[in-house]
Amino acid sequence: MPRLHVNIDHVATLRQARRETFPDPITWALAAEKAGAQGITCHLRTDQRHIQPDDVKRLRRALTTRLNLELSLEPGVVDFALRIRPQSACIVPEKRAEVTTEGGLDVVRERKRLLRVVPLLAAKGAEVSLFIDPDPRQVEAAFEVGAHFVELHTGTYANALGKKRERELERLRDAAALAITAGLRVNAGHGLDYENVAPIAAIPRVEELNIGFAIVAESLFSGVREAVTRMQRLVRRGSRAASSASGGR
Catalytic residue list: 43, 70, 190
Considering only CA atoms, which of 24, 44, 22, 20 is closest in space to residue 32? 24
Are the C-beta atoms of 6 and 41 separated by less than 8 Å? yes
176's enclosing H/E stretch is: helix 162-182
Are the C-beta atoms of 28 and 224 separated by less than 8 Å? yes
β-partners of residue 209 are 4, 188
CA distance 52 to 50: 6
CA distance 186 to 139: 10
State the alpha helices, DSSP H only, in 124-161: 136-144, 155-159
Q: Residues 6 or more apart from 239 whose CB is under 8 A from it?
A: 1, 2, 201, 202
- Grouping H, G, I as helix, E, B as strand and the rest as coil, residue 195 is coil
CA distance 143 to 140: 5
